[in-house]
Amino acid sequence: MGHTAYTHQFRMHPETLKFAMGSAHSIEDVQAIEALGGRAFLIMPKGSTVEDLPLRTIFCPQPENKGVVTCRTCGLCDGKPSPSDKRKHIAIIEH
């Protein structure tokens, strides 16, 4: 089984992005995380739509698939980037 992990400390400790998603609250945060070689978990304001997503970002599938998709079964937020990793950043609407 994989894991999920998130960090707000990606600027002070970029090494955490080897195993954790960078917690982002803005497009600038997403860009900083990407520049450090990581993947972002972006919290977006209520009312945000797919048109508001930054490049290379998708919405978390769980809210639309309650009971079918869980963090445990999905694995998109495992935070394991590599040079060949083409997975996208993940966004969720604040709740």
- The answer, yes or no, to whether residue 22 has pLDDT greater than 70, is yes
Interatomic CA distance for residues 11 and 36, integer angstroms: 9
Q: What is the pLDDT of residue 78?
A: 81
- The answer, yes or no, to whether residue 90 has pLDDT greater than 70, is yes
Contact 70, 62 (CB under 8 A): yes
Q: What is the pLDDT of residue 81?
A: 66
CA geometry: angle 16, 2, 94, nearest 5 deg: 65
Distance of CA 1 to the CA centre of its chain: 19
DSSP structure class, residue 26: S
Instruction: Give the pLDDT band of residue 5 (cuts 50, 70, 90).
Output: confident
Give the tens place of pLDDT for each residue, 35-82: 999 999 999 999 999 999 998 999 998 877 777 888 888 888 887 766
What's the length of the chain? 95
Contact 7, 21 (CB under 8 A): yes
Q: What is the pLDDT of residue 13?
A: 97
